[in-house]
Structure 1
Amino acid sequence: MCFQSFLKWRDIETKLVEEEFDVCVVGGGVMGSCAAYSLAEAGKSTVLIEQFPIPHTRGSSSGHSRITSLSDYRHPFMASLVNHGYKQWLKLQTIAAEWAVRQAPVLTIGTDEEVIKHKGKRIESCGFPPTRLTIADLNAQYKSQFPSDRFAVIDPSGLVLVANKCVLLVQKLFKSRGGVILDGCPVKQVETEKERIRITCPRRVITCKSLVLCPGPWAKELLGKVGIKLPLRTLKTGVWYFKLRDPSFPPSSINDLSISNEFFYATRPFEYPGLIKFGVHDGVEIDPGEREKCDLSHLKKKMTDYLEEFFPQIEPQPSIEESCMYTMTPDSNFILDYHPKHKNIVYACGFSGTGFQLGPAIGEVLAGMVLDYEPIHDMTPFRASRFNLQDEEDPPKSPSATSKY
């Protein structure tokens, strides 16, 4: 760069830029990116603001893989959202002409035979034939040593979403529709002025008609700036990659529900040659800005103890260690709602470690809220009103939603 070009660049970088859009989306993870894409697809001038340079690994949408399948939900009210997200990921991959999804049947293990039978019926209702395994079949196929009180079923609709590629793919489609991405651009202030919203960032002021907030682990902090207080906790968790002693390990993902109060999972081996990703659905509460100060050694021990007990063909000491963050609600269901005083501000948060698969569906719902469309899903179970927001320190454990858009 010549000196004159450097001076011009410096002037641009230090000058206050003011811009106007129909919609501003804050948060460049999977939810914000999908919402921005849906809004641009609907013809709205849209800007996507991300506090860190893209791509980055500091939030909840980074990493190589997420598991999904058509039967992957805990509550019946999640079925339509899971189905919508599943189909949209396949559609987006086709539109972008880039692979970001891989097939990977999902093995579910449990000690409650009725739960596994119900899982099989749910798989059938999605149009796929489940494969029920005896304990002998399970141990033979997966080189495992589970005891005789286990039951298992395989869901052939399973997919692995290549997370980092999925987010970049959606952002690419967003830009192709005229969307603007501002990364490395943390939000400092949000002001409402009649029917307009003014967002102040370093060296930039954005004015818009509507605002969508998808702040991930920073939800409590950012939503607090606009007067929304929610019972959220940010957790840091780990994922570990272990060496396969037997390369013939089946190319499937795993959900193990058989240990009381624990949930272990694995992703189909493909990210690192000869390694399989395992994790435990648990974490340590943190300040998202200080995630590196957290000790995950007890979670790592849980994971290695689990492998030593049940998977002797997997090396119990990890070859690679990575981490991620969850934003948890008291009932582990996400929050999707309007600002209580400003209907032109909508937000989504608290996906509790299970939201990535829903990205395109949530993006379309958020866009519909902004555009005042008829709802495509019943969002009643996800309203903030299910929590007693008058007493943030002691929220109720079960939802009691009363509103529907």
Structure 2
Amino acid sequence: MESGSSSSSKEYDVIVLGAGVEGSSTAYNLTKNGGGRVLLLEQFSALHTRGSSHGGSRITRRAYTKAYYIKMMDEAYRMWDQIEREGKTQLYLDTGLLMFGPKSSHCLQDAIRCLAESGTPHNRLSAQQVMSKYPSQLYLPFNHEGVFEKDGGLLMATKAVATLQRLFIENGGEFLDGHKVKEITPGPIIRVTTDQGVFTARRLIITAGAWAPAIMATLGVHLPFKVCRTEVLYWKAEEPKDFSWENFPAFICYTDSEDPYYHVYGLPIYEYPGLVKICFHTNHNEVDPDARDALPGPSTTDLVRPFVQRHFKGVQTTPSIYEACMYTESPDEDPVLDRHPLYPNIIMGAGFSGHGFKLAPVVGKILTELALDLPPSYDLAPFRLDRFTWQSPAKL
């Protein structure tokens, strides 16, 4: 997708670097909120499958173990609804969300507490009540419990990114894909040199996903992030109707930390006929994002299989489809949403740790506020760069 000239003679008000869901949402927000001339740059083709935003589905939910995300998700739901209306397309399926695990799980109990304290509607369920609700699908041991959030559901991932990009262009933005950044020169006017041309802007927002740590390092900021490759697994259901999105929810299972599959998540049948999405969230394989598939890392199948065998009825125990994805993980699983410590006209959004997709409309709003020097809508203390140690060369 290319909607503008690659001439270096045109200066922009804002350049957004990286057109995954966070960058596309940010570019869209800028054109909606007086961002001026906005350029969205992407190193690969539009809607590529090399990063973290592709695929048919992502979980959306208010249920979090940190209260500030629940507040952000209240607005994210409203913003996704607005994007659907503007784009005249459906992006969200109301499947509900089931979280379950041992009663001793700290993560599960923290999520239940945050839901209660925020006043988010939810139903707490015993193991027997969960099995009564899903008799053909789930088995939970007696020491487990669940919590059901009605508003949880499924976001259509690639379709959502495509919609944000389309609305951005319709609002007057310019999008250039196939432009790999070679150099960023800071200053009052920032110079971005790509393999296809040179672009200048007063503000730069870096939403480059797995490539953000390397880009920020060239600007003297060394983020303590890990870029990880993970497997997305799809398992065949013997009775597909039981696991259709109308009959089965998105789910998250938190187990005790000493358990090897302590965070498993999944979605009902949607992307592939007859296949349930069940994936391992943690313990990913650290990779170079430019060589994600150079060497296959350890498979997560052997970690997910015992979970499927233990908790699922009528699902085959060997996955039918394997797909690759990357997470950029921060030490505390919170992203950085902040300005560069030396160059305040360079803003970064990175380190979403595998749970940023649902938050993208609010992230785009926050990064837009930072770029346009608007009062922040949220307390950004959990997302500040200075919570980590960063290093800067003596001269940049």
Query: Residues 47-126 of structure 1: matches in 2 within 5 Å?
Result: 47-71=39-63, 73-112=64-103, 119-120=111-112, 122-123=114-115
CA RMSD across the alignment: 2.1
Q: 1:242 aligns with which of 220, 235, 248?
A: 235
Distance across 2 between alignment mates of 1:165 and 1:137: 35
Aligned equivalent of 1:166 = 160
Identity of aligned residues (%): 32
Larger CA Rg, structure 1 vs 2: 1
TM-score by length of 2: 0.90
**Cα shift readout 1:117-166 (whole Å, capped 9, x = no counterpart):** 66456446666642333222323415323211101121101121111011
Q: Which amino acid aligns with 1:252?
A: P
**Is 1:182 aligned to residue 176 of structure 2?**
yes
Match of 1:29 in 2: 20
Helix, strand or coil: the match of 1:184? coil
Counterpart for residue 306 of structure 2: 305
- Cα distance in 2 for partners of 1:230, 1:338 equals 13
Q: Does 1:257 align with 2:258?
A: no
How many residues were matched structurally?
377
Give the aligned residue type for 1:105: G
Structure 1 residues 126 and 156: CA distance shift in structure 2, 3 A: farther
Deviations 1:218-237 (Å, cap 9, x if unpaired)? 11111112221111110000
Task: Answer with 35-44 or 20-29: which moved more.
Answer: 35-44
Following superposition, the deviation at residue 296 of structure 1 comes to: 4.4
Letter in 1 for 2:251: I
Of Structure 1 and Structure 2, the greater helix share is in 1
- CA drift of 1:321 comes to 1.1
Deviation per residue, 1:24-45 (Å, 9 max, x gap)? 0000001111111111112311
Structure 2 regions of 5+ residues with no counterpart? none
**Secondary structure of the structure 1 residue equivalent to 2:269:** coil
Answer whether contact 2:8 2:200 (CA < 8 A) is retained: no
Q: Which amino acid aligns with 1:272?
A: Y
Cα distance, 1:296–1:267 mapped onto 2, change above 3 Å? farther
Q: Counterpart of 2:89 in structure 1: which amino acid?
A: E
Q: Which amino acid is the alignment partner of residue 70 of structure 2?
A: A
What's the secondary structure of 2:85's corresponding residue? Answer: helix
The match for 1:40 is 31
TM-superposed CA distance for 1:298, in Å, is: 3.4
**1:297-344 deviation per Cα after TM superposition (whole angstroms, max 9, x unaligned):** 431111122112221311111111111100011111111111111111
Other-structure match for 2:385: 384
Q: Distance in 2 between matches of 1:38 and 1:178?
A: 12
Contact kept? 1:190, 1:197, Cα under 8 Å:
yes
* Paired position in structure 1 for 2:210: 217
TM-score by length of 1: 0.88
Distance, in Å, in 2 between the alignment partners of 1:127 and 1:98 is 30
The question of whether the paired residues in 1 share the 8 Å contact of 2:155 and 2:358 is answered with yes
Would the alpha carbon gap of residues 128 and 389 (structure 1) be closer, same or farther in structure 2, given more than 3 Å must change? closer
How far apart, CA to CA, are the structure 2 residues paired with 1:118 and 1:264? 17
Q: How far apart are 1:258 and its partner, in Å?
A: 2.2
